[in-house]
Amino acid sequence: MSIGSAAPRPYLEVKDLTIRFETDDGIVQAVSGSSFSLEKGQTLGIVGESGSGKSVTSLGVLGLHRTRSNAKVTGEIWLDNEELITATDEKVRLLRGGKMAMIFQDPLSAMHPYFTVGSQIVEAYRVHHPGLNKKTAREKAIDMLARVGIPQPERRFSDYAHQFSGGMRQRAMIAMALVNDPQLLIADEPTTALDVTVQAQILDLIRDLQEEFGSAVIMITHDLGVVAELADDVLVMYGGKIIEKGPALDVFQNPQHPYTWGLLGSMPRLDREVRDRLTPVKGTPPSLINLPDGCAFHPRCPYAGRNGNRSFTDVPVLREAGAGGEHLVACHLPAEERTKIFQQEVLPNL
Amino acid sequence: MLAYLIRRLINAVVTLLVVTLVTFGVFFLVPKATGSDPALLYVGKQADPVAVEGIRTKLGLNDPIIVQYGKFLKGIVAGRDYSNGPDITHCSAPCLGYTFKTNQEVWPILIDALPVTISLAIGAAVLWVLMGVLFGVISALRRGSIWDRGVMTVALAGVSLPIYFTGLLALSIFVYGLKWLPNAEYTPFIDNPIKWFTGLILPWVTLAFLFAATYARLTRANMLETLGEDYIRTARAKGLRERTVIGKHGLRSGLTPLVTVFGLDVGALLGGAILTEAVFNLRGLGYWALQGIRQNDLPTILGVTLFAAFFIVIMNLIVDLLYGVIDPRVRLG
């Protein structure tokens, strides 16, 4: 590297991403100042409740808010050294489904009911390979169906989405997303609509394909088990903000934010004694139109008053959590106190 | 598929039978209950009793109602003879009887009226689908814009204004005022296609305005719903052009529900657009329906009702069969 040149950018770098929607009820602050980055071959898990901004963030990366006239997106998104927010619609469109692709949550509603599964994959392939003849595209689609483990791909090519089982449908969806060898794959709760037995198969499939293609993967989920299994890094989102992020191992072994503790506490586990109840995070997620002052989590946080009353007035920023350089948390509690609470009050109940 | 088709056809025939039964019952039993005599309608009020009794015998009005109905059905399928002693009148199949007032066979009158109604209905249908879908789609894409509000206001007016208002207004402006168009009249297409066209253009537009308004609203609502679907987001996520997203993925599901409504609307119109035909003096089925009602002419009313029912049943069948093709989730059988 020559003197003066910046360090090479990560494959995906999101800086200060803010997404808001103007609605009749007011401005929805869906994502506020999110920054994160991701290298090829790595997996980033984004966890949080419904409405925490995880899906909106990923749709923002794909530029899918551009068709919504009431959406306002600011910040920077760098994909392979190209900035996407200021790029033209046409440029982003060509990246979409090509360099970056997305797997959606419910494949039954995410696939068109009136077109065959095969033709939808062919369509995805041909739009990024103009001039390619139909026969070659068809062979490619059948090949992809086979690769994601769909038996009798030639026959299934002509079936409609409703004729597939849930797991097979998600496999077909993955085949469609991967048909153009995307370098960035975003999976938005890919296993939520599936049976537990099928979930593991789909996750294995995504992991295998990631190794094969070497892509960067963003795994959006509210299932911490999925993140623990697949992710290298984790973002925890709450009220449109990243409130904790770091290497997955650190975040799980030494979670820092009271909300993350809550998420861990609300996860059913088989390797523990049977308890009467899970411990849910009390209260409801905040309205994104009227976020609480200060820390958005304070109305639900059992420790909100412990450090003066700053949680009620000041918005906490992401700072080093204290344990290691890459583990960040947005919480007003001092590091020692957080560690103490976690060790003494939270861990014994997990 | 074949079994399904046969079952549906049998179904259609049964439906038509029920319609004839009900109509026959209403039109031939009700006069009896109210004391008015169909035979009197036939011969006129001051007729001598012998003539009335002759007519009664000839038309079989003395037979039990079920026998009369049987003869009526036989007339449609095989023709029938009306006889009063040696005086025999043969009415060949399909026979719907004779008009009371003018003693003409009903079937040929209606067959002659059919091209008028078909021309009117088909022309208007083409027009209203094109207009309705076009305006509806644009409104959906520019939701909330001035264009959208304007179109929806006009559409509301279109739905609310009756044909006899818009039709007469159109006549007074374009025919009597500006003299751009000849008075609406029907010329058979084969005789003179241009006259056929110019004579029907005003009725088409008037009728289409009414329906286009409904279709624009329907299309707009369907498109808005469709464009919010997950698979539209998927289409965009694949990197498809916005034109393909709307024009292929959006229209394909946004317009499918219209097929049902369209089929039934056309079916209903083929049975006679009474108001439009009356306003523009077109002698289609609707005109004869009106004549029949005005003159208490039971055979005519019965005939028109049968035609109307036939078209509705047929269009319904076509729509159902078509759905199996356009919506893969509908499995026939």
Of A187, A58, A180, A84, whose CA–CA distance to A127 is shortest?
Answer: A180
Half-sphere exposure of B234 (CA within 13 A, CB side): 29
DSSP-derived pairing of the beta strands A319-320 and A328-329: antiparallel
Surface of A (6-35) touching B: CB under 8 A: none
Distance of CA B69 to the CA centre of its chain: 25
Whether A160 and B231 lie within 8 Å, measured CB to CB: no
The reported pLDDT for the residue numbered B170 is 83
User: Which of B143 and B184 is assigned the larger pLDDT?
Assistant: B143
Using the predicted structure, report yes or no on whether residue B40 has a pLDDT greater than 80. no
Taking residues B25-52, what's their average pLDDT?
Answer: 71
**Token digits of residue B280:** 């523009």
Using the predicted structure, report yes or no on whether residue B237 has a pLDDT greater than 90. yes
3-state helix, strand, coil in chain B (%, to 5): 75, 5, 25
Q: Which residues pair with A165 in a beta bridge?
A: none
Encode chain A (350 residues) as per-residue pLDDT tens digits.
444 456 788 999 999 999 999 988 889 999 999 999 999 999 999 998 888 889 999 999 999 998 888 899 999 999 999 999 999 999 999 999 999 999 998 889 999 999 999 999 999 999 999 989 999 999 999 999 998 889 999 999 999 999 999 889 999 999 999 999 899 999 998 888 778 888 888 888 888 889 888 899 999 988 888 888 889 999 999 999 999 999 998 898 888 899 998 888 877 766 656 555 666 777 888 888 888 888 889 888 888 877 778 888 888 888 887 766 789 999 888 888 888 888 888 887 77
pLDDT tens string B68-121: 888 888 888 888 887 766 677 788 778 888 887 777 888 989 999 999 999 999
Which residue is closest to A120 within chain B, CA to CA?
Answer: B235
Of B24, B48, B27, whose CA–CA distance to B36 is shortest?
Answer: B27
The reported pLDDT for the residue numbered A276 is 54
First to last CA, chain A: 47
Q: Which residues pair with A241 in a beta bridge?
A: A238
Alpha helix locations (H) across A266-322?
Answer: 310-313
Distance, in Å, from the CA atom of B204 to the CA atom of A337, rounded to the nearest integer, reads 81
Residues 6+ apart with CB under 8 A from B197: none
The reported pLDDT for the residue numbered B27 is 72
Of A290, A293, A295, A263, whose CA–CA distance to A279 is shortest?
Answer: A263
Residues 6+ apart with CB under 8 A from A207: A230
Of B248, B225, B241, B254, whose CA–CA distance to B133 is shortest?
Answer: B254
Q: Does residue A226 sit at the B interface (CB-CB below 8 Å)?
A: no
The answer to whether residues A180 and A124 touch, using CB atoms and an 8 Å cutoff, is yes
Of A192, A152, A196, whose CA–CA distance to A172 is shortest?
Answer: A152
Distance, in Å, from the CA atom of A205 to the CA atom of A79, rounded to the nearest integer, reads 25
Q: Which of B229, B239, B253 sits opposite A96 (nearest CB)?
A: B239
The reported pLDDT for the residue numbered B329 is 81
The count of CB pairs under 8 A between chains A and B is 73
The reported pLDDT for the residue numbered B41 is 67
How many beta carbons lie within 10 A of that of residue B214, not counting itself? Answer: 17
Whether B249 and A112 lie within 8 Å, measured CB to CB: yes
Which residue is closest to A179 within chain B, CA to CA?
Answer: B238
Q: Which of A96, A104, A113 sits opposite B329 (nearest CB)?
A: A113
The answer to whether residues A328 and A318 touch, using CB atoms and an 8 Å cutoff, is yes
Surface of A (66-85) touching B: CB under 8 A: 67
Whether B238 and A114 lie within 8 Å, measured CB to CB: no
Is the link from the previous residue into A348 a cis peptide, with omega within 30 of 0? no
Alpha helix locations (H) across A216-327?
Answer: 224-230, 248-253, 258-265, 310-313
Q: Does residue B326 sit at the A interface (CB-CB below 8 Å)?
A: yes
How many beta carbons lie within 10 A of that of residue B290, not counting itself? Answer: 18
The reported pLDDT for the residue numbered B159 is 82
Instruction: ipTM value, please give it.
Output: 0.88
CA distance A94 to chain B (A): 6
Residues 6+ apart with CB under 8 A from A269: none
Distance of CA A237 to the CA centre of its chain: 10
pLDDT band at B44 (very low <50, low <70, confident <90, very high): low
How many beta carbons lie within 10 A of that of residue A158, not counting itself? Answer: 11
The reported pLDDT for the residue numbered B74 is 87
Ramachandran region, residue A309 (left: φ > 0; alpha: ψ -120 to 50; beta: rest): alpha
Using the predicted structure, report yes or no on whether residue B4 has a pLDDT greater than 60. yes
CA distance A106 to chain B (A): 9
The reported pLDDT for the residue numbered B47 is 67
User: Which of B319 and A307 is assigned the larger pLDDT?
Assistant: B319
The answer to whether residues A107 and A166 touch, using CB atoms and an 8 Å cutoff, is yes
The answer to whether residues B116 and B273 touch, using CB atoms and an 8 Å cutoff, is no
Backbone angles phi, psi at A187, to 5 degrees: -110, 110
Q: Which of A102, A115, A162 sits opposite B237 (nearest CB)?
A: A102
**Token digits of residue B52:** 């009335």
Is residue B199 exposed (0-12), middle (13-18) or buried (19+ Cβ within 10 Å)?
buried
Ramachandran region, residue A160 (left: φ > 0; alpha: ψ -120 to 50; beta: rest): beta
DSSP-derived pairing of the beta strands A12-23 and A71-79: antiparallel
Q: Which residues of chain B make contact with A137, given a CB cutoff of 8 A?
A: none
**Token digits of residue B288:** 């004869």
Using the predicted structure, report yes or no on whether residue B144 has a pLDDT greater than 70. yes
Using the predicted structure, report yes or no on whether residue B311 has a pLDDT greater than 70. yes
The reported pLDDT for the residue numbered A273 is 61
Q: Give whole-number Cα distances, A183 to A102, A120, A159, in Å.
A: 11, 21, 28
DSSP for B132-193, please give it: HHHHHHHHHHTTTSHHHHHHHHHHHHHHHS-HHHHHHHHIIIIIIIS--SPPP----TTT-H
The reported pLDDT for the residue numbered A2 is 46
Using the predicted structure, report yes or no on whether residue B46 has a pLDDT greater than 70. no
Residue count of chain A: 350
pLDDT tens string B242-293: 999 999 999 999 998 899 899 999 999 998 888 888 888 888 999 999 988 8
Mapped onto helix, strand or coil, the DSSP state of residue A33 is strand
**Cα-based angle A234, A237, A242 (whole degrees, multiple of 5):** 80
Q: Give whole-number Cα distances, A24 to A27, A279, A289, B288, in Å.
A: 8, 36, 11, 54
Q: Which residues pair with A238 in a beta bridge?
A: A241
